[in-house]
């Protein structure tokens, strides 16, 4: 699965930018990844619920909201109620991640839990039994265009093993520095869904970039 990140898109043309990856066949994105940043949990400030609501009206591609915000227990439910397909919160910010996952699901969304590069996975394994997505950050959250941190792939391998043995039931997603040079090692580690920003929106044809990345990952996963 490929989830283009609009953090790398032209914010003056977000509707058009999403349409560029909403075509048919291999050029169609599986999800559109939307980074919500509050300038508190991370130093950057991007967009919030009003913009997400507008995006939801403009496309039928599932919206994957990544909330890099303080107090997600309070704010995340609004994104689920608005119609986001998947709402991901940070383990480092959630006060009660199990209750939050249940509330997100009750509001109609899939629930995702994200961990920063320096956050160990093991303390969150019990909580992840209540989640639909694990988002492993392969850069420090807050800014696009950073270099891929390969060390996080150990967390991907652990999650992949737990999913394959039935201990967890979730999509393993990765976000940060994913491009033609890094997607194959991430796929080999066991990633299901790849968030790609500049690798898609920096291309002349974003739809073709989606197809090329998917083909690379699929070839590795197929062995």
Q: Which residues make up each annotated binding site for a divalent metal cation? A: 33, 35, 66, 175
13-38 in b/e form (b: 16+ CB < 10 A) is ebeebbebbbbeeebebbbbbbbbbb
Which whole-number Å values give the CA distances from 74 to 32, 82, 93, 101, 131, in the listed order?
23, 15, 11, 12, 18
205 flagged as catalytic:
no
Determine which one of 30, 35, 38, 132 is catalytic. Answer: 35
Determine which one of 30, 132, 175, 192 is catalytic. Answer: 175
Residues annotated in a binding site for substrate:
5, 66, 142-145, 175-177, 197-198
Residues annotated in a binding site:
5, 33, 35, 66, 142-145, 175-177, 197-198
96 flagged as catalytic:
no
The catalytic residues are 35, 175
């Amino acid at each position: 699965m490929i989830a283009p990140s609009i953090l790398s898109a032209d914010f003056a043309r977000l509707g058009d930018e999403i349409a560029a990856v909403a075509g048919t066949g291999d050029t169609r994105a599986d999800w559109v990844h939307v980074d919500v940043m509050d300038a508190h949990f991370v130093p950057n400030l991007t967009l919030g619920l009003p913009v997400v609501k507008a995006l939801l009206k403009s496309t039928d591609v599932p919206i994957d909201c990544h909330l890099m915000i303080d107090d997600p227990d309070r704010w995340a439910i609004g994104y689920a109620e608005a119609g986001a397909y998947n709402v991901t919160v940070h383990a480092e910010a959630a006060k009660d991640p199990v209750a939050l996952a249940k509330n997100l699901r009750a509001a109609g969304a899939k629930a995702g839990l994200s961990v920063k590069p320096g956050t160990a996975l093991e303390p969150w394994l019990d909580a992840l039994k209540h989640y639909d997505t694990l988002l492993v950050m392969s850069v420090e959250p807050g800014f696009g265009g950073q270099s891929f941190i390969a060390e996080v792939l150990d967390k991907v391998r652990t999650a992949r093993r737990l999913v394959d043995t039935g201990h967890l039931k979730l999509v393993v997603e990765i976000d940060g520095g994913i491009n033609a040079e890094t997607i194959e090692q991430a796929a080999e580690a066991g990633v299901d869904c790849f968030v790609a920003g500049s690798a898609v929106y920096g291309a002349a044809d974003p739809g073709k970039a989606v197809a090329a990345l998917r083909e690379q990952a699929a070839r590795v996963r197929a062995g």
